[in-house]
Structure 1
Amino acid sequence: MNKVACFLFIMTMQLTFAQLSVRNNAYVYVNNMALYVEDDVNIEENTAYIYLRNGSQLLQGSGTTGNSGQGRLSVFQTGTSNTYMYNYWCSPVGINSGSAGNTVFTPNVNFFYETAAPISSSPFGFITGYNGTTTQIANYWLYTFTGTTAPPNDYQDWEGLGAGPGSLATGGLANGTLASGYGFTMKGNPSGAQKYDFRGRPNNGTITTTLNANRETLVGNPYPSAIDARDFIHDTNNAAIIDSGTLSFWEQDPTQSTSHVLINYVGGYATYTIDVTGTVETFTPATFDTYNVDGTLNTTGGGSTSGKNVYRYIPIGQGFMVKGNGTGGTLRTTNAMRVFQKEAPTLSEFFRVGDNGRTENQYNEEGMFMMPDGYKRFRLNIDFDDTYTRQLTQNFHHTATAGEDYGLETISPARLSSDVYWPNNDKAYNAQAFSFDVALHIPLVLNINRSQLVRFRLFDIQNFDESQPIYLHDMDNDLYVDLRTQNYELNLDAGNYANRFEITFTSNALSTEDISIDDFTVYQNNNLSELHVLNPNQREVKSINLFDVNGKQLFTKVDLPIAPKYEYSTKHLSEGVYIVKITFESGQDLSKKIIVANKQ
């Protein structure tokens, strides 16, 4: 093999080495490209460096010795958090000492800030206060989550990496070190988008972390290159232990993050998965909610909804949560998952990457993934009191089953104060898959913590025939609402609604579309805020009555003249479902449900 001692500027091409050795006072400067080393990297003396700049990345092959040396690789990543917001990280480097192989990450050894472009940086200072600066990191907010303590997945399970006051760790990790592959949290500084310089021995080869059964672990991309989420999720080892193939990405609401006080936190988890072919991505955005002092969800209020996205290629430094299934085991990342995939410069989200000449899936102008032929999809937005929105995704493909479809479905993250999900196999999903059939009945479960207005909206409808309705069936009211033509909203009292709502594709009762008996038609004109009753054959009408869904009579019209049309104002009515009952002189009755949604 070739072993090269370097003092190089690599600017315009992709360079490949069998092995790479950087000696005393030498450095390799890589600009806007990939550096590929088939075997191992030895940055020998502590004055030797490899600088990855302007999106450059280091990829490695099948070397078995492990990277070595006392020198450092340097790579930048920019956080989006401010003083009060967490980012989830995973270091691409470890400390630059010890025998060959991956080493532990230590914040006060591996974190630097840039002092003079393009290669000069200084170590961050670490303080015991709450607020970081452009040159100091607050110890207080450095935590990891390994899911090994009891009770599982509790707020108190976070383990401190820093030495600041008030640590919640029940036995913090020794000396603030973290094995490669595990993720950690950190807050930023008042300037917001802080550029961090990770410096140390580059991680390489197979990296393992423990994923406990039915518990979450904070892991991430441990390399100085992007990794392919498809290869990570569908690795044969990982597919046997990751619950539903779901990756969860933390985000906080920047408009509400103005305090370190826990009850003022407004945040949530976005979820992502991808099918084994890499052609179908399923992403559901974070729904923000607030938290109590003990870290539990605040059940008296809510937050807004995220506008960020997650795509296939996971960038350098990105941390995320993974939950073990019922067995758990050893999670792994490997060099085979590594790709040269730069973050697109026009995308602001830390965990959002774009095109760099690789074969990419297609997205529309709203950033929604475009389903390939043979797949269908729709998304359902459920608004709770106009406070926040939970988004659900429904995928369809002929290979999908009524059970779990790994890579097409995602587990719903932490339940909100009021929430909704797809139920399946005693689990709560925010994305699921079926083989499409017009006879399908897809149940929804709603948990409502207090009386409030709930609204159902449909969007991102892909590869459905234009004539195919998508109904929300309100079984208590025997009402079918085609969400392709109108939203449905109603007031719900506190409680669990496990058997009231479902999605169907056929109507088995009187449709919410206009109905006729002998050409007699009843409909609500919401543009005019009027109830219209059409009587083209001029039948004799005895009375027209309007009731709410609780049976309360709101008005009655009698002694009606024979006329082709009757019109009544509904401006005074609250938005909701009502029942119109028409009685004919012949004794025949006609009842019709209408939805009042008065236009402002």
Structure 2
Amino acid sequence: CAVKTWDGSNWNPAGNPTATDHVVISDDYDTATDGGSITACEVTVDASTTLTISADDFLSVANNITVDGTLNVAHTANVVQIDDAATVTNNGTINVYVDTPALDGRDFMLMGSPMTTETRAGVFDGAMRIRNHLTENFSPNTEVMEASNGAGVWVDEEGDDWLVYEAGINPGEGYMVMRDIVGPATALNLNFTQGTLNNGVITYAAEYNGTQNASPNIIANPYASAISATDFINANDNVDAVYFWEHITAPNSGTPGPYGLDYTMEDISIFNLTGGTSAAGSDAGTLPNGIISTGQGFGVKASNAEPITFNNSMRLTSGNTTLRKRDIDRIWLNVQSNGYELNSTALIGFIQEATDGIDIGYDAKRLATNVALYSHLDDGSNQLGIQSRGVFSENMKIPMGFATLIDEQINYTISIENIEGLNLESATVYLIDNQEETITNLSNEDYTFGSEKGIFDNRFTIQFVPEVILGTDASVLENIAIYPNPTQSILSIVSPKFMVTNVTVYDIIGRVVMSQNFENSKKVAIDLSELNSAIYFAEINTEAGKMTKRIIKE
């Protein structure tokens, strides 16, 4: 390989490196700002220098990598080696960053490690609990087997197949990584640092319990790059499909299983050589695309005890994005002046990375147009044409303002211009006119009002539960869960911390349709079988306060 050196400004000799070059990084290089992805025969990162592979970029190396300085691999970046016998020598620092989707309380990810000697106390120190899977302890759940007539089962009979784990993270093995059970949905921002990058042939000792259905193994992509699920299946004769956990539904007391609260198999998507199927509990948003991201864990049903193998031929330089993040929920609200061709649109987005304050790059002031509809922060400040909020919750309230330079008193109409995202598309949008003291279901009809010239801050409020039944204690009670939803009859309610004292159900215009009191129970159930198929709101009263959940009666 011919040596080609980066000096901080230029390549020497001139020209971008190719697969025949031994690339030497003698000054800091970032693929996002200094020339893009790198293809090389061999790579050396000199001491006191940093090579950064930024998001969606790649480092593709035929042979060895030597790190005497620092190698940073961003979330969704890829580092690929071609030769299975190539080495990665780490005499400095290697950081591989992986961000999970936002996880609700009790939710988990299946994760592995792209580094050779990572530990539970290292990269997963911020997780509440880590579990590893013992296939030898697994036996298909009898209740599920009988109900499904022998279909594929991932539910254990005794509940002893997942054990708390505190040791080293084995390359190729997948682990259940659980976040804390309290607090809002939060991502785990992981930094793998211990050892060096996994490369070449990685084997996992598959366990086989006599039948394929009784032999679930939890494994993980061991590389700092995406891999092809198709190539993985083709390389392993004892694997006919891969199974992904899509973390959609909270654990449910009504789901068959050995625990008080069990996860549902409807949150599992499948991919094989024919293609993929979405998780039954979602729409096409969980359809696997045949790519497995850095460190992403997944399940296989082994058909024998042959070792499961990963190798460099499976690795990819793109597509490292299948650790799915929540859809961005967005709503565009429009105001139209009746009689004039003047209108204005306000955008509100619900985004994992945003806060309820001002976020640079996510919030923008309204324009000084003749007619304007805009939103405020919770304290009524700012006039925002675009506003970002945190992850969507139906208990949110968003204050809105309106301004017009039209001199005469005329009518205006507010409507939903567009709506995106799974949460918002299934939500009901209400507009409160604080001046007229009216509530309008914007999901069903537009709202027309009269106004003279002026600026009217905080005139409106957008919310997703009717005003008459909004609770004020949602932050305290945010881990209350209801199952199943939608439901045809019985609705179970689980309050992990506080006793439930009453559940009152309202229709969409705020009328009480049923109410039931309870004593000394954190887990209750109500029967909705007599109600018509529609959207309702369950006000859950506890000893610590109340909150409202939107429910769908089928």
TM-score when normalising by structure 2: 0.45
TM-score when normalising by structure 1: 0.42
Q: Which has the larger radius of gyration?
A: 1
